[in-house]
Structure 1
């Protein structure tokens, strides 16, 4: 999983492709990251 700070950036700016490219070695399942983004967004509102 991405670090929480990176998740926040990805969620806030919806720039998953760029985040994935920047952290390609950390991202193993982009779909799972997107699900986590939804959870983070839901818990932060």
Structure 2
């Protein structure tokens, strides 16, 4: 498995997909990201009670 990830062509594809996912996560948890907005909405809902 390590060889597949580190050496084989399949590993290259996996690293590309992982980097793409990493960027998506950065956007989601960053300022104005979907996770940030959801958390702010939850806090506002809780505080409005």
Which TM bucket (shorter chain)?
Answer: 0.3 to 0.5
Q: TM-score, structure 2 length as denominator?
A: 0.36
Kindly indicate whether structure 1 or structure 2 has the higher relative contact order, using CA contacts under 8 Å at least 6 residues apart: 1
Larger radius of gyration: 2
Q: TM-score, structure 1 length as denominator?
A: 0.39
